[in-house]
Amino acid sequence: MYTSKISGLGYYVPENVVTNDDLSKIMDTNDAWIQERTGIKERRHIKKGDGNSTSIMGVKAAKIALERANVTTDDIDFIIFATLSPDMYFPGGGVRVQDMMNMNTIPALDVRNQCSGFVYAISVADQFVKTGMYKNVLVIGSENHSGGLDMTTRGRGVSVIFGDGAGAAVVTRSEEKGSGILSTHLHSEGAHAKELSLEGPSTEHWVPEIIAENPQEDIPYYPYMNGQFVFKNAVVRFSEVINEGLQKNNLSAADIDMLIPHQANLRISQFVQKQFRLSDDQVYNNIQKYGNTTAASIPIALTEAWEAGKIKKGDLVVLAAFGSGFTWGSAIIRW
């Protein structure tokens, strides 16, 4: 049995910055209202004509990750692409990355686990590498939310939260015992699926049906979120799955050098930080400037923390996410 490690990281965000004040010009909201509830000050949105898409941003992040891992596209054995916002209904983003990067006819897998997508994808990569099937797996989390949000007062409870961007990691085979990805832990609870969802267009709500049967004031093809219910579940599940990972490896909260939580809401991160009695230097948050980038949020934050020198060899790094599904998970990594 091999071990697996993250050998390269990269991220990309669009240049177009959208501030809270910008949003206040198109909907009934303001900077204080948004920051109080979410901690977000600004986010990045793809701008029409800037040449970006979910897959293209994923490629931009992937190229940086490959360079830092000191591997080429010929070295990659498998692509795992996590997103809720693929370029098209089908096929998914993984095969588009394979094409855009001129890779060999390697397999490509798409993961549709929304906010926990990157943790799920890392878990899949970890298993393929540890069993010896693949040596280098490219894992991407990328999202283009801005084109599918209700940018009016009606949708402000959701639309102010989300941003666009991509992050990528190369998961590589290693024979160094006691380091790399130590364990991953995944869960779901579908009973609450509709509390954070986008019901149409889908095979249950095709576009002609939506147009014919729904008044314009009740459009089901925008995301819906029961914010308070999601928050209450998130803080419980975050803590549970982090503790599960620590216990699996005979570790405690005192051993954590860096926690990278999914950037759903700064208040959730702060709540979890307080529960585990971690200092500001032990938790990395960047939701203030990027918003919630769903599957991209953890790899973007992980890359930034590493670039800033906040993660060093030997550090215990914990990734944790909770989101739509409900799904949640954690990864315990000895860097």
Given the residues 52, 136, 262, 286, the one annotated as active site: 262
Q: Are strands 78-82 and 108-111 parallel, antiparallel or unpaired?
A: parallel
Q: Distance between CA atoms of 299 and 6, rounded to whole angstroms?
A: 11
Q: What is the pLDDT of residues 179-193, one digit of tens each?
A: 999 999 999 999 999
| Active-site residue flag, 113 | no
Q: Is the pLDDT of residue 92 over 80?
A: yes
Q: What is the pLDDT of residues 226-264, one digit of tens each?
A: 989 999 999 999 999 999 999 999 999 999 999 999 999
| Active-site residue flag, 233 | no
Task: Quote the tokens at residue 233.
Answer: 């579940």
Please name the helix (run of DSSP H) or strand (run of DSSP E) that holds residue 334, with its range, or none.
Answer: strand 327-334
Is there a cis peptide before residue 223, judged by omega within 30 degrees of 0?
A: no
Q: Report percent pLDDT > 90 for the chain.
A: 86
Report helix, strand and coil shares of the chain as percent, to nearest 5.
40, 25, 35
Q: Distance between CA atoms of 303 and 187, rounded to whole angstroms?
A: 25
Given the residues 115, 144, 233, 285, the one annotated as active site: 115
Q: What is the pLDDT of residues 28-69, one digit of tens each?
A: 999 999 999 999 999 999 999 999 999 999 999 999 999 999
Please give the C-alpha separations between residue 269 and each of 42, 53, 80, 242, 283, in angstroms, as whole numbers.
Answer: 17, 28, 26, 13, 8
The CA-based dihedral angle spanning residues 206, 212, 215, 217, taken in that order and rounded to the nearest 10 degrees: 30
Q: How many residues does the chain have?
A: 335
Range 96-106 average pLDDT: 97
| Active-site residue flag, 226 | no
pLDDT range class, residue 176, cuts 50, 70, 90: confident
Q: What is the pLDDT of residues 109-146, one digit of tens each?
A: 999 999 999 999 999 999 999 999 999 999 999 999 99
pLDDT range class, residue 106, cuts 50, 70, 90: very high
State the DSSP string of 163-203.
--EEEEEEEEEE--TT-EEEEEEEEE-GGGGGGEE---SSS
Q: What is the pLDDT of residues 194-227, one digit of tens each?
A: 998 888 777 766 665 655 666 555 566 788 899 8
- Judge residue 167's burial from the number of C-beta atoms within 10 Å of its C-beta, 0-12 exposed, 13-18 middle, 19 or more buried: buried
Could you count the other beta carbons within 10 Å of the beta carbon of residue 40?
Answer: 25
8 A C-beta contact, residue 58 and residue 81: yes
Give residue 198's pLDDT.
Answer: 85
Give residue 208's pLDDT.
Answer: 59
Q: What is the pLDDT of the chain when averaged over all its residues?
A: 94
